[in-house]
Structure 1
Amino acid sequence: MPARFPTRLRALALAACATLASHAAFAQDDLLVRSRLDRQLFLQVLIGEIELREGEVGTAYEVMLEAAKRSKEEQIFKRTVDIALQAGAGEQALAAAKTWREEMPQSLDAHRYVIQILVALNRPADTADTLSSLIKITPEAERPSIIMNMPRFFSRVADRKATVALMEKVTQPYAEQASTKAAVNVAIGHAWFMAEDTGKALEYARRAHEQDPASEGAALFALEMLPGVAPAEELVVDHLKVKPTSDGIRQVYARILSASQRFADAAVQLEQVTQHQPQVAGPYLTLGALYLELKQSKQATDALVKYLEVAQAAPVKAPAKAETKPATPTKPQGDDDDDDDDASPASAAADQGVTQAWLMLAQAAEQQGDFKSAEIWLAKVDNPQRALEVVARRASLLARQGKIKEARDLIHRSPERSQDDARAKLLAEAQVLRDVKRWSDANSVLASANKKFPNDVDLLYEQSMMAEKLNKLDEMEKLLRKVIEIKPDHHHAYNALGYSLAERNTRLPEAKALIQKALEIAPGEPFITDSMGWVEYRSGNRAEAIRLLRGAYRSRPDPEIGAHLGEVLWINGERDEAKRVWREARAKDSANDVLRETLARLRVGDL
């Protein structure tokens, strides 16, 4: 980086004065507004910016660094460091950051910049003194947070075990202080977690939790280890018992549970959040979505209506329950592009939430067979970007009433803005056909889609499911293995293939290996746990099968999982409990194929 600052300063000062009006935008810059600059410093900063715009990066750096040292303004120091970083001059950036720290020893930002630049220069060991100083100058109330978050500086460092040693060294003076000892254990545990030693990470997380069960930092670290480190969940659950109003932790926990398809467990957490914060809208929307997944349409409707009331700050009246009548398809929404470009991001997000709530309310009404109410909710959606979703829901309503041709025609007529729309239409058509058990037609649609969009794992997976319904098991296996080849972490494919083998009571060791692989990718996922319980049952391990199936059913009380759990309990002689589980499952979905087949095969009479 050349440094020619002194030779041109006087001339540039004159030029700056002459052209100050034409560069008025500089005066509005956050750097200058926030800084308390006198006339000379203002001109010096302006000169530095002009030099930078003219490509004289070295001169700009020198001018800015001198201005920063004279003014002791953090914004000017930051600007100086950024100029060097943008030029790829790491050593000069480090020199400026160190000067900043020397000139302003109480600056937290100066310390952070020095640490981050040293790490970027692959010199993490040199950060020890700055880390120790950062902890020391941080106000005591904020010190635990600084300590807990220190490992994040080193997320890209190759030698992760060296990071553990560094954390132990710089936090040692605070390891026995009452206010910081839990934070120290979180920091060291996080370093071990980054080093992929989950055993030691969990050990330190437990220490931190024992030292301060109410610590949200320890709970957040435990959440970060989920779902891969299953025992960490115990720490989260215990934290919520100690501090029931820890709603931030509850919402993160609910997201993790939902991602693992543990919808019932996630709903429990969000129910608590809505009780503690009844005037916060967001949790009601998520809760409504969870209830829909659980086929609890009445609860979904209540949660979503409440979301609309809070989000719109006005009472919302759900459509009155109507006699089931054929829905009249309305004209598909057009290709209107008149979006509201003036809407703020917050307003746009709120509008998206309201639209999503209307779509889900239509789905809830459909689940209850109330097609008229479903259409009323759909009619509220006027966002062109969601037009295809509305068409898909209307098509589903038609299909549920036996109007298959009309449903398919409605999807076909829907406009396509892109290839993504064309793909979505094919998936929507296949889904409509699946819902009414037109397996062969759905398979044909998906086969056509796979020709148009080759190697699309979602389309391949969906076609494999139709092949299974048509008893084309060789084709199903071929498709699933192709999915795995294209996307080796597609846990649904491993699970589907493993479950299919277990269901046919064949190649059980291979089935177990496939399901185990799926669980490694998605630990705790209820349907995969159900599959593992089923393969254990087929292998003669009833006790283990019951344990796994109970856990899966508790996390997601789906009728199919209930059918499996009931069967193993029945065969094991626990017939009263089996009947109870089957009654619950039948109440959720009496038409479920697996449940009906199970009860018929076992010749179960009255429940």
Structure 2
Amino acid sequence: MCTRIKNCLAMSPFKHLILASLVLAGCAQTPVAPVAASAPDAAAPEAVAAIEPVLPNVELSSELLYEFLLAEFASQRGHQALAVEGSQELARLTRDPRLAKRAAQLALESGDMNRAVEAFRFWQETEPSALMATRILSSLLLRGGRLDEARIEFVKVLKSEEPAVGAVFMQLYTMAASYPDKAAVLQLMRELAAPYPQVAEAHWLVAQLATAALEEKLALSEVRRARELKPEWDAPVSLEAQLLNKSEPQKSLALLQRHLSVHPAAGGIRLQYARALLTQKQYQAAREEFQLLATASPDNVDLAFAIALISLQLNDLSGAELQFKAALLKGGKTQDVIEYFLGQLSEAREDEAEALTHYRGVTQGEYQLTAQLRMVYLLNKQGRLDDARAQLQQAQAVTPAQRVQVLVIEAQLLSEAKRSTEAYRVLEQGMVKLPDQPDLLYEAAMLADKLGKFDVSEKYLRRLIKLKPDHAHAYNALGYSLLERNVRIKEALALVERALQLTPDDFAIMDSVGWGYYRSGKLDESVAMLQRAFAGNPDPEIAAHLGEVLWIRGDRAEAAKVWQDSLKAHPDNAPLQAVMKRYMP
């Protein structure tokens, strides 16, 4: 008796080669059952009732078997174009739905969407009851932007699964949500949903897509209808609350609260409610909701962590510590984060030794560098500058920006310790390894100016301006340095005015411009600008400048009042003391 093709295909491709000559010799004229093809990877949910396809009665020939083997081997060896072409030709020759299905799968795997659409249409033609073909074809047409064609296929899918049509609408959302033309896909889905006015999922689908298309009025209308049809369903409540939160946050909270009063086990809604309370800064109520969630999920480290952070916000340090330690015992990927916040708590309690212990426990993750820098701060605060510098050198600075940050901090520590020459050397050495880093250039320029290296400072600032033409503070620093030395006043004034153009609300730069007007002999303009700066920021150095210009203009009583009031607030400010001593010895 002759072997049929379907039996041959149950074996491996290598066995096909062994049996091919026997099949060709003995079966060439015998009617055979069609080849069984495997299902596409993108399998859709099964139809409600499977219908066996009508199979053609096709005789085996050497050409047919050769074409099949060629397509299969081409697919296995990565020659997808050859596999697609061969499988489609074989399907056309036999009109076998299983071969058509295999051809559709290979076309889909090839990534050639046009060939895939053609192949799935042919599969539909050979097996009209194949719902999988219709599902995948509709998805392909949607992805290809062929919405009118997709609509026809989606209608078929919906009609074929009317007993479970709600689930189909939910699946439609996953396909439609990523479509780039939000208005167009919304219109398509509204047309598909229209025949199903009593299906809550259809209204929810339209509401979601209307939200994405910024049609909020439509979204609210549709999601409310979905909620009316399925009041126990959380999803419409969640979406309506999100929509309301933008303009009517209190109504959003009330909606979530009402749903929870009827469905207290709705964990997703409770979490949304807790987060909404946080947004409204109702910290106590938010903590209570998070605690309810934590009671229901006692092993959830994220909930314990959230409660701890809210406790911090409420200044409940003991409560925060309790929750952080509970989260730490639960383990998980947030351990380093918890150690960091425990360090913050210890700092708040002024227990620096414990803070250092917790910061050392941060051995990886997003807070590692921050924890190391907090250690540097605490060590320096304790007068342990060398230990602080050693800790800095161990800091996990990976990016250029982080490495610059570490260098700048080390220079600032040295500068505060009145070791400005060493600080400058640190920055100079850093610029060799990290050239043209704006923050490094700026800090080096400031230190160079402080050390009297004015040419070097100007060189760095001009380099910075070339790299970042909108760097307002570089213009201001260079201009102010010239003004302080009372040189190149016209150029200096132009520099600080340019800085003010770039950041018109910066009070320090207003002070520089006011000082530039003073150096230029424009006393009234200077007083006006300095008063504006001082009103925005009553800094003692601005007070020193304002008082000096008022004194020179002849308003000595007003100048004295500005100085004396500022001195009361800042009794140790050296620049203020110096100018008062000069004019009021």
TM-score, normalization by structure 1: 0.51
Match of 1:129 among 152, 158, 177: 152
Aligned twin of 1:487: none
Work out whether 1:171 is the aligned partner of 2:193. yes
Q: Distance in 1 between matches of 2:177 and 2:78?
A: 34
Work out whether 1:362 is the aligned partner of 2:381. no
Maintained 8 Å contact 1:365/1:371: yes
User: 1:166-245 counterparts in 2 under 5 A?
Assistant: 166-176=188-198, 180-181=199-200, 183-222=201-240, 225=243, 228=246, 230=248, 233-234=252-253, 235-245=255-265
Aligned twin of 1:282: 302
Larger relative contact order, structure 1 or 2 (CA cutoff 8 Å, min sep 6): 1
After superposition, the Cα gap between the structure-2 partners of 1:239 and 1:120, relative to the gap in structure 1 and judged at 3 Å, is: same
Q: Distance in 2 between matches of 1:193 and 1:107?
A: 34
Q: Distance in 2 between matches of 1:248 and 1:71?
A: 45
After superposition, the Cα gap between the structure-2 partners of 1:55 and 1:377, relative to the gap in structure 1 and judged at 3 Å, is: closer
Aligned twin of 2:23: none
Work out whether 1:80 is the aligned partner of 2:61. no
Report how many aligned residue pairs link the two structures: 400
Aligned twin of 1:378: 359
User: 1:443-454 counterparts in 2 under 5 A?
Assistant: 448-449=439-440, 451=442
Maintained 8 Å contact 2:97/2:123: no
* Deviation (angstroms), 1:430: 11
Work out whether 1:114 is the aligned partner of 2:137. yes
Work out whether 1:300 is the aligned partner of 2:316. no
Task: State the one-letter code of the partner of 1:392.
Answer: L
Maintained 8 Å contact 1:97/1:110: yes
After superposition, the Cα gap between the structure-2 partners of 1:198 and 1:384, relative to the gap in structure 1 and judged at 3 Å, is: closer
Maintained 8 Å contact 1:297/1:365: no
Q: Distance in 2 between matches of 1:430 and 1:193?
A: 52
After superposition, the Cα gap between the structure-2 partners of 1:361 and 1:429, relative to the gap in structure 1 and judged at 3 Å, is: farther
After superposition, the Cα gap between the structure-2 partners of 1:384 and 1:283, relative to the gap in structure 1 and judged at 3 Å, is: closer
Maintained 8 Å contact 1:219/1:236: yes
Q: Distance in 2 between matches of 1:461 and 1:144?
A: 59
Query: Which consecutive unaligned segments of at least 5 residues does structure 2 have?
Result: 1-8, 19-37, 44-61, 415-422, 428-436, 444-462, 475-495, 507-531, 538-568, 570-585
| Secondary structure of the corresponding residue to residue 416 of structure 1 | coil
Q: Distance in 1 between matches of 2:284 and 2:65?
A: 61
After superposition, the Cα gap between the structure-2 partners of 1:159 and 1:105, relative to the gap in structure 1 and judged at 3 Å, is: same
User: 1:344-363 counterparts in 2 under 5 A?
Assistant: 350=332, 352-363=333-344
* Deviation (angstroms), 1:118: 0.9
Q: Distance in 2 between matches of 1:75 and 1:454?
A: 65
Aligned twin of 2:81: 58
| Secondary structure of the corresponding residue to residue 173 of structure 1 | coil
Maintained 8 Å contact 2:373/2:395: no
Task: State the one-letter code of the partner of 1:283.
Answer: L
Q: Distance in 1 between matches of 2:404 and 2:99?
A: 55
Task: State the one-letter code of the partner of 1:448.
Answer: D
Q: Distance in 2 between matches of 1:170 and 1:228?
A: 29
* Deviation (angstroms), 1:237: 4.2
RMSD: 5.7
* Deviation (angstroms), 1:295: 4.3
Task: State the one-letter code of the partner of 2:356.
Answer: E
Aligned twin of 2:546: none
Task: State the one-letter code of the partner of 2:116.
Answer: A
* Deviation (angstroms), 1:186: 1.7
Select the structure of larger CA radius of gyration.
2
Q: Distance in 1 between matches of 2:406 and 2:388?
A: 12
Aligned twin of 1:422: 403
Query: Which consecutive unaligned segments of at least 5 residues does structure 1 have?
Result: 1-8, 19-28, 35-39, 312-349, 434-440, 464-471, 483-500, 507-592, 594-607
State the identity %. 18
Q: Distance in 1 between matches of 2:99 and 2:313?
A: 54
